[in-house]
Structure 1
Amino acid sequence: MSSRSTGNVREMTGGEEAPAEDESSALAGMHPRPQFARPGWVDLTGPWGFAHDDVDCGLDAGWYDQPQPFDRTIIVPFPPESRASGIADTGFHPVVWYRRAVRLAAGQRAGRVILHFGAVDYRATVWVNGHLVARHEGGQTPFHADITTALLPGDSEQVVTVRAEDDPFDLTQPRGKQDWKRDCHAIWYKRTTGIWQPVWLETVPPIHLTELLWTPDTVAVRFGLRVRLNRTPDRPLRVRVHLSQDGIVIADDTWIASKSETERLIGLDRGSAVMERTTFFWTPEHPNLFEAEVTLLDGDEVIDTVFSYAGLRSVGVADRWFQLNDRPYYLRMALEQGYWPESHLAAPDEAAMCREIELTKALGFNGIRIHQKVEDPRFLALCDRLGLIVWGEMASAYVYSDEGFARYTREWIDVVRRDASHPCIVAWVPYNESWGVPNVGINATEQAAVQALYHTVRALDPTRPVIANDGWETPVGNIFGVHDYTFDAAVLAQRYGTSEAVAHTLAHIQPSARRILLLDIARGDTPVMVTEFGGISYAPATDEKWYGYGTARTPDEYLDRFSSLVGALLASPAIAGFCYTQLTDTEQETNGLLTEDRLPKFHPETIRAILNSPPVAIPAAVLAAHREKTRADTGVGDGVAIPGETPSA
């Protein structure tokens, strides 16, 4: 692969293991925040002490300062319900504790020491050497703590203790597809409690970089960059950004930072050799990226450096199409549960993440809808680098409450802030099938909640479309997603085969016994997509328990049904794309194109040939016109792939 596909490996890897542990890290390799990577980070994944606290006595008993209760070993970041963790206990355990001893080298203490958690489900309390350093609510989002003042002197062992609380019966708590019953039922899966994303330490100077937000501008061929510091500097500092592609410098810019937050527009060198021999734009077919080095300086003295990257691309909606880089782009997506048989919400390793993305592309999909979870930043970074579109979603609650809505909104804000710089993410999905707002069809409060979260996400990120309530009962949105699990291709054609048919379906048909649109909103030019369909179950091991939306008994029967359903949607001039259910078998569901171990059930080329028939919705003449418009607007012409054409890779 070229550097545009793989990135600068030196800058994305290099985590040091905590010297107090001899065992290797469970997920060593990429930096846990690939778009904000500091060298010299200390990887704390691997063995930790562990204890269940079913009667919730640990706080009163002072477990945060005692080693005795931790009589078991867990492999972090795998949840204790999973086999990969070494615990494999799927019972009801609302409170769990972790303990890890770490020794820091002298160089790792030459500044402020920051302890990071990628995600802990659901409420986390953290102590270092018995001192409380952090509390966090939200099972899908990261948090950190400055633990410098809690550290013991010299080369003493530093003890990190974590208490995680995750009520399995609280249906107002964001849970995604985690089951509240002892055994998995219907479409619900085993629970994930506690730590399920990486834990790491890093050393930073007293004033340092904390956040980067890249905003691409494909018309002006530039990036907006927002840089945040941990505090306002005592005197003006300088920020320097160095952007390169394939080793060629594209931009080198420096400006003054006198406040804790600063913004800059960074133009790219359009006359460089890179511009002449390739395109700047990011697409799934050509996932071009710019490697970034961001440095904070005091005069000429380097204070802090982080490595990042960015992709130049735009997304939007117009004329009933989804658009990528101001051109119609037909979305062929798969529903991705992001669930692993051995490790649940946590992927086994980075190789497994990479293989899943490569298999998805090999099957002919250009995107995935991450379903009911917030993916690991490393997975998103691989989607950026390998070229796979992502719809960002979060774990929903199941019933509505005022407090549940408040905490759901807070966590969504953190999700958007964490992931807004990823070029692979092209849309946000705050709600799915009215989960968390079950009475939205008739309840004004829940309708207002959906509208409020839609506008909140749009305010945080006006550059991406928002699908407010995917599936049905949406009161607002930039794309209308419909879930339709009919097994009859003729019915799909009848419902979506023409613009008139789509209008009739939106207004009068209830494919899942729910209205599609609420509050008499009009379609106008809003794109319509069938964002869940198919769900055909095929389990070669016929004694397996399965759940799906219908079954096929033989491979030929499956492929016939799959081909007819996909063909009905590709033949429609009135929809902007689709999302097939689903990519992988998951727990009792055997309706994946891959098994739960990510093995193809059918030859990928067979599926690819079906998926990649040209869509009727975007005529070739329209694509040609948009090619000319891009050339006129940006000066970028030859070598720019036309999104929407059948991909070649």
Structure 2
Amino acid sequence: MTEMLRGEYPRPQLVRADWLNLNGVWNFEFDDEAAGEREKWYEHPSFSRTIRVPFCYQSKLSGIGDPSFHDIVWYHRTFTVPTAYQGKRLILHFGAVDYECKVWVNGRLAAIHEGGHTPFDADITDLLQGADNSIVVKAVDYSRDAALPRGKQYWEETSAGIFYTRTTGIWQTVWIEPVHDLHIRRIRLTPDIDTNEVSLQAFVQGWDTRAKLHLKSVISFAGQVVSEDSFSVTGKDEMRRIRLHDFNDHGLGRWWSPERPNLYDLELTLLVDGEVVDTVASYFGMRKISIEDGVVLLNNRPYYMKMVLDQGYFPDGLLTAPSDEALKKDIELTKEMGFNGARKHQKIEDPRYLYWADRLGLLVWGEMANAFRFTETYAGQITREWLQAVERDYNHPCIVAWVPLNESWGVTNILVSPAEQQHALALYHMTKSLDMSRPVISNDGWELVKTDLVTIHDYEWRKEVLADRYSTVEQALQAKPGNRWILVPGYPYEGQPLLLTEFGGISFQKGNQEGWGYSGASNEEDFERRLADVVQGALASPVLQGFCYTQLTDVEQEINGLLTYDRKPKIPLEKIREIVQGR
């Protein structure tokens, strides 16, 4: 088991120097008869297949490439504890496993988790048996369950329409890190550009009143220290506001934006009775997203969002990018085409994508993977997973909006159902309770209840119709594209900014991939003209404060991307950039 896949550090917002990557070849088995747990496969695993983790079995990169239904799958591998880790607590991490899973170490249960897009971990120290140890994972998906938070994953074996191949099981990095009994569990960083301060909240695992704990923070910019602080830790979490004594305005300072993605580095050291027991590295951006007098502001200045819809799928890896470089390249291509943001559609994206968006400068709307049918069980599942997603991604400066629901997915009767309206309201208010620093969109596209932005999906392809439809706020709200109310009756417009967050979707076949789009182009010249028409129609509006073009790439049967599925531009990037920039 020496093959290493996706070897980059998987948690860029909380980095430790020592860690053990468990990606690579694992033993694997389908369990179509649901016999594994009854027969205690976790005690003496003997599986007939292998799989390349972290790629799901449906993907080519897994080495299996089987798109058929296998709702229960099992994984097994052994690992050796490095000598240097002895005397430490060992934490086993999973980036994401779709959808439910159980984890055993040496035949003993270590973890249970629900939710296909969010991380979890387990302290496995007391389950270890010397240097050589065994991990078994059982993952359960529910391929046909339309009430499961699943995003774009189709409930049929063959993808169709706007839905794609499913992901079952492990699809993000698996890894182990050694820590002290007392260690930093997570941190929460909140910038305030108005006071030039950053709020630092550190959560300590294993906090003990008998120990004397101190936390030392060092903040630097471009290698130069700008702040050092040390303070006592008197509870399970400790918070400080730290002043940054540097110049930060008039375009010359260190605020974060897509045009100037400035980042501060942070090193935190935890000391127990004067002895260093934990050191982690992180970073943050001094950035503010706000709304004043109905206008979207970035760093207290009006900012027009030019975004692209990004499904985050890859031909050979599906939800899992083949490499860290592939994630970085998607952001570079997005920026080269003149966009300043991306709406990650129906996917809680890999943290490495957010890392590169932070580093390279790209606004990101963080969106939940939705279900398609409302039930009480669904309401609990999506709420729990969304809480985990917001917690995981809170520190990323690139994220400037939260989207818990999209196009009434999971709340198909929200227009007339008080229960579904209350569900959307609950997600909105819960998200606001966790994060007051970013706008929240209650139901992107249409049938919005309480919301910070009014966001509209409209695939009209005629420039003159778009220009007229969005010539005034009143016309925009009355248009009902797709024959849908923009706001649910009883939830009046309150002066929020208007954005066109899905439009375009022009299909153009470039290469052998066949498929569909919302309107069609016959050749490169026609595609360029149609693209210019819809973008110019949006830019001509005096009331829209941003747009999101559908979409970045072709995906499976959809050929409405600006790029092909293998990331080749359909027309020159500079032509797309000229259109997006309005030149």
Q: TM-score, normalised by structure 1?
A: 0.88
Q: How does 1:279-318 map to 2 (within 5 A)?
A: 279-318=253-292
SS of the residue corresponding to residue 91 of structure 1 reads coil
Match of 2:458 in 1: 484
SS of the residue corresponding to residue 125 of structure 1 reads strand
1:33-75: CA deviations, max 9, x gaps?
Answer: 101011110001111110000111000111111232x111111
Match of 1:8 in 2: none
| Counterpart residue identity of residue 541, structure 2 | S
5+ unaligned residues in a row in structure 1: which ranges? Answer: 1-20, 615-649
Most deviating of 338-347 and 509-518: 509-518
Q: How does 1:145-294 map to 2 (within 5 A)?
A: 145-153=122-130, 155=131, 157-233=132-208, 234-270=210-246, 278-294=252-268
CA contact (8 A) 1:235 1:258 kept: no
CA contact (8 A) 1:585 1:594 kept: yes
- Residue 547 in structure 1 maps to residue 524 in structure 2: no
1:484-534: CA deviations, max 9, x gaps?
Answer: 00111111111102x3xx22331x321011111013333232001010000
Q: How does 1:46-57 map to 2 (within 5 A)?
A: 46-57=24-35
Match of 1:67 in 2: 45
SS of the residue corresponding to residue 266 of structure 1 reads strand
| Counterpart residue identity of residue 117, structure 1 | F
SS of the residue corresponding to residue 141 of structure 1 reads coil
1:315-353: CA deviations, max 9, x gaps?
Answer: 011233211111110000000000011000001000111
- Out of 541, 560, 563, the position equivalent to 1:572 is 541
How many angstroms apart in 1 are the aligned matches of 2:292 and 2:530?
A: 32
Cα RMSD for the two superposed structures: 1.4
Match of 2:346 in 1: 372
Cα offset, 1:300, TM superposition: 2.9
- Residue 117 in structure 1 maps to residue 94 in structure 2: yes
Match of 1:393 in 2: 367
How many angstroms apart in 2 are the aligned matches of 1:275 and 1:429?
A: 30
Match of 2:54 in 1: 77
Match of 1:104 in 2: 81
SS of the residue corresponding to residue 100 of structure 1 reads strand
SS of the residue corresponding to residue 218 of structure 2 reads strand
Cα offset, 1:22, TM superposition: 2.2
CA contact (8 A) 2:550 2:560 kept: yes
1:442-494: CA deviations, max 9, x gaps?
Answer: 10100000001000000000100001100000111000110000111111111
How many angstroms apart in 1 are the aligned matches of 2:552 and 2:474?
A: 29
Q: How does 1:561-640 map to 2 (within 5 A)?
A: 561-613=530-582
1:520-552: CA deviations, max 9, x gaps?
Answer: 3332320010100000000123x6421210110
CA contact (8 A) 1:318 1:526 kept: no
CA contact (8 A) 1:475 1:517 kept: yes
Match of 1:432 in 2: 406
Cα offset, 1:599, TM superposition: 1.2
Most deviating of 293-302 and 120-129: 293-302
Most deviating of 401-410 and 226-235: 226-235
| Counterpart residue identity of residue 537, structure 1 | S
| Counterpart residue identity of residue 245, structure 1 | F
CA contact (8 A) 1:399 1:435 kept: yes
| Counterpart residue identity of residue 440, structure 1 | I
Aligned sequence identity (%): 45
How many angstroms apart in 1 are the aligned matches of 2:48 and 2:227?
A: 54
How many angstroms apart in 2 are the aligned matches of 1:426 and 1:490?
A: 31
Match of 2:66 in 1: 89
Cα offset, 1:232, TM superposition: 2.6
How many angstroms apart in 2 are the aligned matches of 1:275 and 1:491?
A: 40
SS of the residue corresponding to residue 506 of structure 2 reads coil
How many angstroms apart in 1 are the aligned matches of 2:507 and 2:310?
A: 15
Match of 1:517 in 2: 487
Cα offset, 1:275, TM superposition: 9.2
Q: How does 1:9-24 map to 2 (within 5 A)?
A: 21-23=1-3
| Counterpart residue identity of residue 46, structure 1 | G
SS of the residue corresponding to residue 37 of structure 2 reads helix
How many angstroms apart in 1 are the aligned matches of 2:2 and 2:544?
A: 55
SS of the residue corresponding to residue 152 of structure 1 reads coil
How many angstroms apart in 1 are the aligned matches of 2:547 and 2:287?
A: 21
- Residue 26 in structure 1 maps to residue 2 in structure 2: no
SS of the residue corresponding to residue 176 of structure 2 reads strand
How many angstroms apart in 2 are the aligned matches of 1:360 and 1:276?
A: 27
1:120-164: CA deviations, max 9, x gaps?
Answer: 0000100000000000000010000000010002x3x21010000
How many angstroms apart in 1 are the aligned matches of 2:5 and 2:513?
A: 30
CA contact (8 A) 2:554 2:562 kept: yes
1:287-309: CA deviations, max 9, x gaps?
Answer: 00001101101243111011100
Cα offset, 1:267, TM superposition: 0.8
Residues 1:277 and 1:176: Cα distance change in structure 2 (over 3 Å) = closer
Cα offset, 1:109, TM superposition: 2.7
Q: Would you identify which runs of 4 or more consecutive aligned residues in structure 1 move more than 3 Å?
A: 274-278
| Counterpart residue identity of residue 370, structure 1 | K
How many angstroms apart in 2 are the aligned matches of 1:358 and 1:595?
A: 15
Cα offset, 1:106, TM superposition: 1.6
Match of 1:3 in 2: none
5+ unaligned residues in a row in structure 2: which ranges? Answer: none
CA contact (8 A) 2:449 2:491 kept: yes
Cα offset, 1:569, TM superposition: 1.1
CA contact (8 A) 2:212 2:273 kept: no
Match of 2:386 in 1: 412
1:68-108: CA deviations, max 9, x gaps?
Answer: 2x111111110100000001111010100000100011212
Q: How does 1:415-494 map to 2 (within 5 A)?
A: 415-494=389-468
CA contact (8 A) 2:2 2:24 kept: no
CA contact (8 A) 1:318 1:525 kept: no
CA contact (8 A) 1:51 1:72 kept: yes
| Counterpart residue identity of residue 590, structure 1 | I
Q: TM-score, normalised by structure 2?
A: 0.98
CA contact (8 A) 2:181 2:206 kept: no
Cα offset, 1:366, TM superposition: 0.2
| Counterpart residue identity of residue 520, structure 1 | G
How many angstroms apart in 2 are the aligned matches of 1:463 and 1:563?
A: 34
SS of the residue corresponding to residue 58 of structure 1 reads coil
Cα offset, 1:277, TM superposition: 10
How many angstroms apart in 2 are the aligned matches of 1:37 and 1:544?
A: 40
How many angstroms apart in 2 are the aligned matches of 1:397 and 1:607?
A: 34
SS of the residue corresponding to residue 381 of structure 1 reads helix
How many angstroms apart in 2 are the aligned matches of 1:438 and 1:203?
A: 46
| Counterpart residue identity of residue 496, structure 1 | Y
| Counterpart residue identity of residue 53, structure 1 | D
Cα offset, 1:276, TM superposition: 11
SS of the residue corresponding to residue 507 of structure 2 reads coil
Most deviating of 421-430 and 563-572: 563-572
Q: How does 1:122-133 map to 2 (within 5 A)?
A: 122-133=99-110
Residues 1:578 and 1:344: Cα distance change in structure 2 (over 3 Å) = same
How many angstroms apart in 2 are the aligned matches of 1:231 and 1:172?
A: 37
